[in-house]
Amino acid sequence: DQQVKQNSPSLSVQEGRISILNCDYTNSMFDYFLWYKKYPAEGPTFLISISSIKDKNEDGRFTVFLNKSAKHLSLHIVPSQPGDSAVYFCAASTTSGTYKYIFGTGTRLKVLA
Amino acid sequence: DGGITQSPKYLFRKEGQNVTLSCEQNLNHDAMYWYRQDPGQGLRLIYYSQIVNDFQKGDIAEGYSVSREKKESFPLTVTSAQKNPTAFYLCASSLTGGWGQPQHFGDGTRLSIL
């Protein structure tokens, strides 16, 4: 049972345009969410996070939006750059029970020059 | 320069052999984790340790073992009991094992069966 889902395995965007990566979750107890970026042959790198008390968090070109009622979060990258081409994972955790992260399957973003 | 070092980058194992993957961190983090990644799947938690001399099973611990004798080291042994060990293994650490702590990852070890 996949509690965190990234339904788009890949996405292509023109340089300078907006990239929107989506993530859905099923467990309403999740209250902290993160996005990671992963280049080939490297480990994931933490990008941005959001807690459930917020609906938006911004860091430079990256903004994460959280819609708790829809159990949906999205990562916006504006403007997209060729160096943003990577696999993006969302992850979720809960303060109740054993602390750990549940990861989505990832979305491969390709930014076209 | 602080970080997490995983070695080796590539590892080959004959069937029936145990093999140990190394993970060392110099970030002074209390918590460490081992994940497995298979094609088309997210990262799945194998084992985690929130403090030295203590560790807990994750979602897919069968066929694996760990130790945490030192704060900076968290080796993972893939035993012969793991029937499908071919995968990409990632080690991570966080400052504490508490809520809201991003995890820092190593560059992974790819294990293949000969």
* B106 in contact with A, Cβ within 8 Å: yes
Contact predicate B72/B27, CB 8 Å = no
Look up residue A105 and give its two tokens: 């399957």
Q: pLDDT band for B32, please (50, 70, 90 cuts).
A: very high
Contact predicate B103/B91, CB 8 Å = no
Q: CA triplet A49, A103, B75: central angle to 5 degrees?
A: 105
% residues pLDDT > 70 (chain B): 98
Strand, helix or coil for residue A70: coil
Strand, helix or coil for residue A84: helix
What average pLDDT does range B64-87 have in this prediction? 94
Task: Give B98 or A79, the one with higher predicted confidence.
Answer: A79
Task: Give B50 or B99, the one with higher predicted confidence.
Answer: B50
* A69 contact partners, CB below 8 Å, separation of at least 6: none
Q: pLDDT band for B15, please (50, 70, 90 cuts).
A: confident
DSSP string for chain B: ---EEEE-SEEEE-TT--EEEEEEE-S--SEEEEEEE-TT--EEEEEEEEETTEEEE-TT-TTEEE--SBTTB--EEE-TT-S---EEEEEEEESSSSTT---EE---EEEEE-
% residues pLDDT > 90 (chain B): 76
Which of chain A's residues have a Cβ under 8 Å away from the Cβ of B61? none
**Which residue from B40, B58, B106 is facing A43, i.e. has the nearest CB?**
B106
**Contact A106/B104, CB-based, under 8 Å?**
no
What average pLDDT does range A24-43 have in this prediction? 92
Weakest mean pLDDT among A15-19, B2-6, B29-33:
B2-6
What average pLDDT does range A27-44 have in this prediction? 92
Task: Report whether pLDDT(A97) > 60.
Answer: no
- What is residue A90's predicted lDDT score, i.e. its pLDDT? 96
What average pLDDT does range B72-98 have in this prediction? 92
Which of chain B's residues have a Cβ under 8 Å away from the Cβ of A4? 42
What average pLDDT does range A41-69 have in this prediction? 94
Cα of B59 to nearest chain A Cα, Å: 10
Residue labelled with tokens 């084992």? B47
Q: What's the CA gap between A29 and A39, in Å, rounded? A: 30
Task: Report whether pLDDT(B44) > 90.
Answer: yes
Q: pLDDT band for A99, please (50, 70, 90 cuts).
A: low
Other CB atoms within 10 A of residue A102 CB: 21
Which of chain A's residues have a Cβ under 8 Å away from the Cβ of B45? 100-101
Cα of B9 to nearest chain A Cα, Å: 9
Chain B CA closest to residue A90:
B42
Cα of A110 to nearest chain B Cα, Å: 17
What average pLDDT does range A104-109 have in this prediction? 96
* B1 contact partners, CB below 8 Å, separation of at least 6: none
* B44 contact partners, CB below 8 Å, separation of at least 6: A103, B35, B36, B37, B38, B58, B59, B60
